[in-house]
């Protein structure tokens, strides 16, 4: 028996959520007194690094290009598992349910906790767009967990680990024509810090200072729904209930009033800073730190102060 974990790579490199997935599997495996088997792409040059986060065995194989193809491969490779962990990236979210359907299993998606009880397995997951937390029970010989990146955190469990090459068949039912990755930008779901702005900025021409603030913090930029609806910023920056849901360590909201739909997408952030001219803005109730002030004065000052702070570090 083993807890299996699919470890996603991006063009051969791991991200934080990859290691987090292994940590998750290790924590689960420890409570079951069993081992961790990681499945990962053979294009990764250093798969043994997964041992640092708790993998006992690593199986590498040429992975399929689509969620369904990989789900079929997982079905072929995962035997005698006490559980399966997949990170809730965009790709992971198409792999996990397809795999669950193929094996008629039980899946908890949007999971935000490690196991609370082991038998039966219960975990916590986000529901009602962060307005609720569900405790879900999975009745299956091989429950599947798809967790929200950055909800558990990366933990090190140095483990002696073996790497074995293998192969498995997976059928991609559609062809990949083109992949475009926005270069030089930090992807929103991966970001530790997110700087977000709303209609308080008065126009798309004022986003320079938001980008400057994001730059000094190594942050991703985001926006409110009205701003993406009127086309000041692209849709893929819209965070909120019907946009991207984020849970960074730090979320800074500039000129966003904090409508309930926006809060639903960001309230899982660990620390929230709100800058708004309106002291009655509902966002202040959901914030840790607030500044009532004009973004056009506060943001440039904040950029300068942070630059000085970073230079001292």
Partner 1 sequence: MNTLVCISHVPDTTAKINFTSDGSSLDAAGVQFVINPYDEFGLTKALHLKESLGGTITVLNVGGPETEPTLRKALAIGADQAVRIDAIPSDAITVAQNIKNHISANSYDLIICGQESIDYNGQQVPAMIAALLQLPFTNACVGLNLSGSEATTKAEIDGGHATFKATLPMVIGGKKGLVEEKDLRIPNMRGIMSARSKPLKIEVAVDGVAPTKAVSFDKPVVKTAVRMIDPENVEELVRLLHEEAKAI
Interface positions, 87-146, toward partner 1 (CB under 8 A): 89-91, 93-94, 96-102, 104-110, 122, 125-140
Query: Among 231, 209, 224, which residue's Cα sits nearest to residue 261?
Result: 224
The one-character DSSP state at 54 is T
**What is the smallest separation between the CB atom of 160 and partner 1, expressed in angstroms?**
31
Which residues contact residue 183 at a Cβ distance below 8 angstroms, ignoring those fewer than 6 apart? Answer: none
Q: How many residues bind partner 1 (CB under 8 A)?
A: 95
**What is the smallest separation between the CB atom of 162 and partner 1, expressed in angstroms?**
29
Told to check if 154 binds partner 1 by CB under 8 A, we report no
Pick 21 or 268: Cβ nearer partner 1:
268
Residue list 256-275, contact with partner 1 (CB under 8 A): 259-261, 264, 267-268, 270-274
Told to check if 177 binds partner 1 by CB under 8 A, we report yes
Binding test (CB under 8 A) with partner 1, winner from 217, 223, 254, 266 = 217
Told to check if 309 binds partner 1 by CB under 8 A, we report yes
Told to check if 11 binds partner 1 by CB under 8 A, we report no
Cβ neighbourhood burial of 132 (10 Å; 0-12, 13-18, 19+): exposed
C-alpha 308/C-alpha 313 separation (Å) is 9
Of the candidate spans 21-29, 45-53, 205-213, 288-296, the one that interacts with partner 1 by CB under 8 A turns out to be 288-296
Of the candidate spans 23-31, 55-63, 156-164, 189-197, the one that interacts with partner 1 by CB under 8 A turns out to be 189-197
Residue list 21-60, contact with partner 1 (CB under 8 A): none
**What is the smallest separation between the CB atom of 190 and partner 1, expressed in angstroms?**
7
Residue list 240-259, contact with partner 1 (CB under 8 A): 241-243, 249-250, 259
- Which region holds residue 264: left if phi is over 0, alpha if psi is between -120 and 50, else beta? alpha
The one-character DSSP state at 218 is T
Pick 38 or 213: Cβ nearer partner 1:
213
Cβ neighbourhood burial of 301 (10 Å; 0-12, 13-18, 19+): exposed
Q: How many CA atoms lie within 13 A of 274 on its CB side?
A: 24
Pick 8 or 56: Cβ nearer partner 1:
8
Q: Which H or E run includes 213? A: helix 208-217
Judged by DSSP in three states, 84 sits in strand
Pick 165 or 185: Cβ nearer partner 1:
185
C-alpha 38/C-alpha 28 separation (Å) is 13
């Amino acid at each position: 028996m083993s807890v299996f974990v699919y470890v996603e790579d991006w063009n051969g490199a791991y991200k934080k959520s990859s290691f987090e997935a292994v940590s998750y599997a290790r924590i689960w495996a420890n409570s079951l007194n069993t081992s961790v088997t990681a499945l990962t792409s053979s294009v990764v040059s250093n798969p043994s690094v997964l041992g640092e986060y708790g993998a006992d065995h690593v199986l590498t194989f040429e992975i399929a290009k689509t969620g369904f193809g990989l789900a079929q491969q997982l079905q072929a490779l995962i035997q005698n598992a006490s559980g399966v962990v997949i990170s809730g990236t965009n790709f992971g979210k198409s792999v996990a349910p397809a795999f669950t359907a193929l094996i008629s299993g039980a899946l908890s998606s949007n999971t935000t906790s490690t196991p609370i009880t082991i038998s039966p397995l219960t975990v916590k997951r986000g529901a009602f767009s962060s307005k609720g937390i569900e405790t879900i029970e999975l009745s299956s010989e091989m429950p599947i967990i798809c967790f929200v990146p950055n909800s558990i955190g990366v933990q090190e469990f140095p483990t002696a680990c073996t790497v074995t090459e293998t192969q498995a068949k997976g059928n991609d039912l559609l062809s990949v024509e083109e992949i475009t990755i926005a270069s030089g930008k930090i992807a929103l779901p991966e970001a530790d810090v997110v700087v977000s702005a709303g209609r308080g900025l008065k126009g798309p021409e004022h986003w320079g200072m938001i980008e400057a603030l994001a730059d000094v913090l190594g942050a991703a930029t985001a926006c409110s729904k009205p701003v993406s609806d009127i086309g000041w910023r692209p849709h893929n920056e819209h965070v909120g209930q019907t946009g991207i849901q984020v849970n960074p360590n730090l979320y800074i909201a500039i000129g966003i009033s904090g409508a309930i739909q926006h809060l639903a997408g960001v309230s899982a952030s660990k620390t929230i800073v709100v800058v708004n001219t309106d002291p009655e803005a509902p966002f202040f109730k959901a914030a840790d730190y607030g500044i009532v002030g004009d973004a056009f004065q506060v943001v440039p000052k904040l950029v300068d102060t942070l630059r000085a702070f970073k230079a001292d570090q």
